[in-house]
Structure 1
Amino acid sequence: MTGVPGPAPAPLTVLLVDDEPLVRAGLRAVLEAQPDITVVGEAADGAAVIPLVRRLRPDVVAMDVRMPLMDGIEATRAVLRTVPAPPKIVVVTTFENDAYVYGALRAGADGFLLKRARPAEIVHALRAVAAGDSLLFPSAVRELAAAHAQEPGSAEAREALRRAALTDREGQVLRLMARGLSNAEIATHLTVGTETVKSHVSAVLSKLGARDRTQAVIAAYESGFVSPG
């Protein structure tokens, strides 16, 4: 008996935000060549992002960081602060070691993507972040933290980590997260089950008030709990 195929999965929807029309046109062409991706809208400035996100409900926002009226840092912060169930936000940048990129990641962006990336890399990155995967290699976070962390090990950052009251095991997990280990690799390192690691990671994120692993790792660097070196 031949089964009846189910409905096709909904396409991945993307909002493009960049003040350069050529960049938006190039990204649109790359993305709309994929059968499972739909560009639902465009904006030339961060100030237009919130109403568009509310109306279009994209899965992912590809956000430039350097824009004239409202930059990508403030736009990211505003979306995450005001929009229920906000989309994933990928920073699109010319320079990977840019203070703007670090600021956007601190504000809650889910990762960054270089404008010079190959089309296949762009497509893979947006699919990955929509699925909940990280776009950041540990070395990239370390380099950004080393170059742009505001007063690493400052009293304020140390106090925030102290208030989080991580257990010894949660501290171990955070250090291994900062090294870029996956949950499975952390489980092997600590000789525990993967589900146990997932519980520890969730506890770390909750105690630090971090949206994701990237923000938790940034907090670890800025408090001096982990050294960029």
Structure 2
Amino acid sequence: MLAQFVLFDGFDPLDVIAPHEVFFAAGMATGGAVAAELVAAEGAREVPSGVPGVSLRAAGRLDPARADIVVLPGAAGALPSEEEVSDEERARTIPAILGRALETDLPALAKEALDRDDTLVATVCGGSMVLAMAGLIEGRPATTHHMGMDLLEATGAVPVAARVVDDGDLVTGSSVTSGLDLALYLVEREVGPQVAHAVETFFAHERRGTVWARRGTVPAL
């Protein structure tokens, strides 16, 4: 099973590193049956994160035909301000970073991944906003950072206030640190609970929250 982690200029490194290491550990626990690689829409290149001085190298181009799982991170940057700011300051805000990501081939490649029956798309934090702003998850339940839930709803997605939301071939995580919980859940779902438990024990991490999914009894309240 191959998981491709997508990098774009201004990505949040924790959104990538934490779940990537979960899949790396799952690969060790399965004798190489699970693999993870860093990719970008433009192909192999050094990709600067939104944290100054931190970058990661994409080994190749995002390829939904190869990937079993495509993981999209959010952005690291300044929050929008109602005060008057310079163009340079505005360019460093999270909405501006995500907007520039939408100007690349990423939306088209993400759509290709969502359209494939054998590819699962997962997001961490603001990664779901990339899909939502591109108009790719209208009508679908998803989560994101709590500060972006209103915007998620405004794009036509269905916001769910849960740490991880499972909508079949789309699995979204909420805050930055939810990347660990999201990745462990995906390992449990796609590989098995014994491997997920082994990785969870190795990291000394206990997952938080109930994974929301559109199945089972609908609560009356």
Q: Bigger radius of gyration, 1 or 2?
A: 1
Higher relative contact order (CA 8 A, sep 6+): 2
Higher strand fraction (1 or 2): 2
TM-score of the aligned structures, taking structure 2 as reference length: 0.40
Normalising by the residue count of structure 1, what TM-score does the alignment of the two structures yield? 0.39
